[in-house]
Every structure is written in C-alpha cells, then in structure tokens.
Chains A and B, each alone.
Chain A
Amino acid sequence: EVQLVESGGGLVQPGGSLRLSCATSGFTFSNFEMVWVRQAPGKGLEWVSYIDSTGDTLFYTESVKGRFLISRDNAKNSLYLQMNSLRGEDTSVYYCARPSPDSSGWRAFDYWGQGTLVTVSS
C-alpha cells in the first residue's frame, strides 16, 4: 500500500525556518518525481515545488523561489521541504504528492499525504 506521511509542521514566527519531511512507503521512491502542494486555510490548492527522481531538477512557484528548497533522500525514501524566511502568507497545510505513472506525462498526482499545518505568526 502506498503511503505518504508528512511531518515537521508547526507554529513559527515570521522570518523563521521550518523543515518539512514526507516519509514514503509502498512504492519504489527512487523511481518517482515528487511535488509539494499547499492549501491556505479556507483557500484552494497551490503547487509549490517539484523534484525529479534523482534530485537534479527542481522547480518552484514564484512566491517561494529563493526561500524554499526541495530535496530528497532516496536511501531513506523521504522528501523534504526546507522553508526559510517564512511569511504569513505561507501559512497553509502542506501536502506531499506523487505523480501518477498512469498519466502519460506523469503530470497528475495519484497519492497524497494527509498534510502538515504550517502556521506563520508572531
């Protein structure tokens, strides 16, 4: 059974840092690209970042460029999101998600974690 479990969320002050983790199981993690998606309270989904299977190719949404860093450890089957210089608008539930191999371009997300809440507030 495929499982994605996020952790590391919490309350942080503006300007602070936080590192999210996503522990995976039930599939060959090293073969899959991965993404982070977030959802502000009462708002819609927003794609945040992408990493390819080797960690060599990274993409970010404009609002987090230079502040967030996505990474992975294939030996630990884990995905990470280092978030620095956090702002109030970063307050969201953060989901890790796996692109679907059934999608011809692996451009849809078939498995999601339960999410971890990040609250940026003084």
Chain B
Amino acid sequence: QSALTQPASVSGSPEQSITISCTGSSSDVGAYKFVSWYQQYPGKAPKLIIYDVTKRPSGVSNRFSGSKSGNTASLTISGLQAEDEADYYCSSYTRSSTWVFGGGTKLTVL
C-alpha cells in the first residue's frame, strides 16, 4: 500500500487560507468516506482535526474544514494563525481493511 500523496510543504500569511491536498486511489480515498486529518507538533502525538472527510471533533476550530473529490481529499485552514504552524497528515481506510497515511505536509505561517 503506497502512502497517500501530500505536498511536502505549504505556507501562508496570517489571516490567509491554505489548502493541503491528499491524493490516493480508488482503493482508499476514493473508496470510502473514511478520510481523516491529523495535526502534529514536533515531539507530540498527532491530534485528530477532521474525520469522515468533513466532520470536526468537538473542540476543533471551525477554521479547519475538509472535502473530497474522487481520489483526492483536501484540508483547508482559513484565517491562518501562528499556532497552526505544524505538520499535517491525511489518512484513509482502504479496501484491504488497513489504513494508509499521507507523507505529511509542513505548514509554515509566514
């Protein structure tokens, strides 16, 4: 199972919006609505910020939103804040009853 494809890095200025893409295949991203996104700070455990493509866990800012079209999912962060600077990972459940993660995207807030 190959990792999902994410851009290695993205950047944006405060208050701007950015979008991180996550491309898989018809065996994972395109197969189910089970795409999730995680935020990870250096040395810390990942934190779930989006699940089931578009849903936000309780307590997660509504500046985070998710979407999917075909085999590509996307995470959008609006109104960028300095605290959003972190690594972001997408994940998808697969037809093989396994999970696959993306390679991760480092977000820099300029």
Contact = CB atoms under 8 A, between A and B. Distances in A.
Interface string A44-63: 11110010000000010110
B45 A45 contact: no
Interface in B86-110: 89, 91, 93, 97-104
A89 interface: no
A103 B34 contact: yes
Interface residues of A, number: 24
A100 B97 CA distance: 16
Given A103-B55, A108-B91, A112-B45, 4 more contacts: A45-B104, A59-B97, A95-B45, A113-B45
Interface of A: 35, 37, 44-47, 50, 59, 61-62, 95, 100, 102-105, 107-110, 112-115
